[in-house]
Every structure is written in C-alpha cells, then in structure tokens.
Amino acid sequence: MDNQNNPIDKCVICGKDTPYRFNDHIDMRIGYVEGGGQGCFQPHMCSQERSRKLFTISEDLVYSTPNDQELGEKVRKIYWQNKQS
C-alpha cells in the first residue's frame, strides 16, 4: 500500500506525528487507545509542546444521555460551570 493511502497517524491529544501509519494494526502499536485513537509514542512528549487541559465527566452521564448532541450540550455546560469556579 502506498503512503498516500496510508498516512502517518497523529496523536489524538497533541496532534504530533506518531511512528505509525493509519492502517498499521493496533496490536502492533504503543499508545493506541481502542475507541480513542493513537496517542503519542512517548506519552510524556504530549505535554511538552502543546498543553491541553482535560476534564473528566462521569460515565453515568454518557450512559444516561444516548443522544450525542444532548451529551455535547451537557459536557459543554459542565465545562463552563467548572471554568467559572
């Protein structure tokens, strides 16, 4: 497969190139989170160039809100409530 149809996979947190290509099998990768995507090959590198603040929501909120649009609205509301605190 040529590289044009198999681009380098980027870290879902910091956006940097990883040593893996999109079609590389996930069992052969380091830092891949199933359902989340490819993380940095060296996780400590993510925070050095670009920091992103993360916050956590409860798993119950996700399960009790099956509509993605409603979930997004609730998550954004929680974000802004915490930002003001």
Q: Is the pLDDT confidence value at 6 over 60?
A: yes
β-sheet bridge partners, residue 38: 32
Q: Is the pLDDT confidence value at 68 over 90?
A: no
Across the range 60-67, mean pLDDT stands at 91
Q: Supply the pLDDT for residue 37.
A: 85
**What does the mean pLDDT of the chain come to?**
81
- Residues with Cβ within 8 Å of 79's Cβ and at least 6 positions away in sequence, in order, are 55
Share of the chain above pLDDT 90, in %: 18
Select the more confidently predicted residue: 82 or 43.
Answer: 82
Could you tell me how many helices (H) and strands (E) the chain has, helices first?
3, 4
Across the range 52-80, mean pLDDT stands at 86
- Residues with Cβ within 8 Å of 2's Cβ and at least 6 positions away in sequence, in order, are none
Q: Is the pLDDT confidence value at 31 over 60?
A: yes
Residue type, 34: E
